[in-house]
């Protein structure tokens, strides 16, 4: 019997056109004594606001325009490109949006600050889970479901990814500037950054990136249709690469992305031609979360 797939990621979700940095490293198991936010304010999103963000900066964790479903996706490290891994609950969990302003106390921040970025992010996820349980009265259980997925594999002619060379780089920052606009190809990055960055729709660059990172960035692209992507490449190294594709004009994302270029293929073809990788449609057992009950939080 195949084991259900459950993937956790270290990722800052800041909207389709923001810089995304994914840092390598295994995510530790949940500890018994998870830290908690010192203070947290939750309020309904202004109906006139179109801002959608989820950001960790220093000791602060802030969101704008996030539904309970999207918060659960982040808190449990689910597929960021879809909410099909979350079901159940009242009708409002996928439509009512909330802004969160939470802060760690000085002692907790000092302890988390010295952790590796991926370990620090996992602790923030645990803190958010606790916040959802306390303020949204969230109760959930896990179920394994057979869902449509993509398997990321190597084409017959072989991978075109370039193995990374040199010493391991300095870890990248996890502090994007609040309110900053979409990044471009010339945006200054920290020295020795590593991971994957999206430069708007249709452009991607990786440095010392793994195929597991690549699959987790791909499955947030609109062309994937919300499917989870499973890394079946068998590639275990770290690679440098660039990928350019023409975004599907039939998908409305609110992000103009790269200018249309008839010489640049769509995502699926570009992957094969430029990276030597392809996506095979299949089905697989996926670990999902079912909401048993939830309540809208009171403002404070």
Residue 256 pLDDT > 90:
no
Q: Above 70 in pLDDT, residue 18?
A: no
- The long-range contacts involving 61-64, CB below 8 angstroms and separated by at least 24 positions, are 61/37, 61/100, 61/102, 61/103, 61/104, 61/124, 61/127, 61/128, 62/99, 62/100, 62/101, 62/102, 62/178, 63/98, 63/99, 63/100, 64/99
Residue 170 has pLDDT above 60, yes or no: no
Phi, psi of 55 (to 5 degrees): -145, 140
27-70 per-position pLDDT tens digit: 344 444 667 899 999 999 999 988 888 887 788 889 999 999 99
How many percent of the chain have pLDDT more than 70? Answer: 72
> Per-residue pLDDT for 244 more than 80?
yes
The pLDDT > 90 percentage for the chain reads 41
Tell me what the mean pLDDT of segment 2-25 comes to. 45
Whether the pLDDT of residue 14 is over 50: the answer is: no
Dist. CA 218–CA 214, nearest whole Å: 6
Stated length of the chain: 300
- 227 vs 44, more confident: 44
Per-residue confidence at 120, pLDDT binned at 50, 70, 90? confident
Answer yes or no: are the C-beta atoms of 150 and 228 closer than 8 Å.
Answer: yes
pLDDT at site 122 = 85
């Amino acid at each position: 019997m195949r084991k259900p797939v459950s993937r956790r990621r270290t990722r800052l979700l800041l909207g389709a056109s923001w810089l995304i940095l994914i840092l390598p490293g295994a995510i530790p198991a949940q500890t018994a004594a998870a830290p908690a936010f010192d203070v947290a304010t939750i309020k309904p999103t202004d109906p006139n606001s179109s801002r959608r963000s989820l950001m960790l900066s220093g000791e602060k964790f802030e969101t704008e325009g996030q539904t309970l479903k999207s918060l659960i996706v982040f808190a449990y490290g689910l597929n960021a490109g879809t909410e099909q891994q979350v079901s159940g609950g009242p009708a409002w969990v996928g439509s009512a949006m909330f802004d969160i302003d939470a802060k760690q106390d000085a002692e907790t921040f000092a302890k988390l600050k010295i952790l590796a970025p991926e370990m620090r992010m996992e602790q923030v996820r645990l803190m958010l889970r606790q916040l959802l349980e306390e303020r949204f009265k969230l109760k959930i259980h896990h179920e394994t479901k057979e869902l449509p997925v993509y398997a990321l594999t190597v084409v017959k002619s072989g991978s075109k990814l370039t193995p990374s060379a040199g010493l391991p780089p300095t870890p990248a920052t996890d502090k994007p500037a609040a309110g900053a606009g979409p990044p471009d190809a010339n945006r200054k990055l920290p020295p020795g950054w590593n991971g994957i960055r999206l430069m708007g729709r249709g452009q991607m660059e990786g440095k010392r990136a793994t195929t597991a990172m690549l699959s987790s960035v791909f499955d947030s692209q609109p062309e994937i249709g919300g499917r989870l992507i499973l890394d079946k490449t068998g590639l275990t190294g770290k690679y440098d690469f660039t990928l350019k594709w023409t975004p599907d004009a039939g998908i409305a994302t609110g992000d103009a992305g790269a200018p249309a270029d008839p010489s640049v293929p769509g995502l699926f073809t570009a992957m094969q031609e430029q990276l030597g990788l392809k996506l095979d449609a299949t089905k697989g057992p996926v670990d999902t979360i079912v909401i048993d009950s939830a309540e809208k939080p009171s403002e404070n």
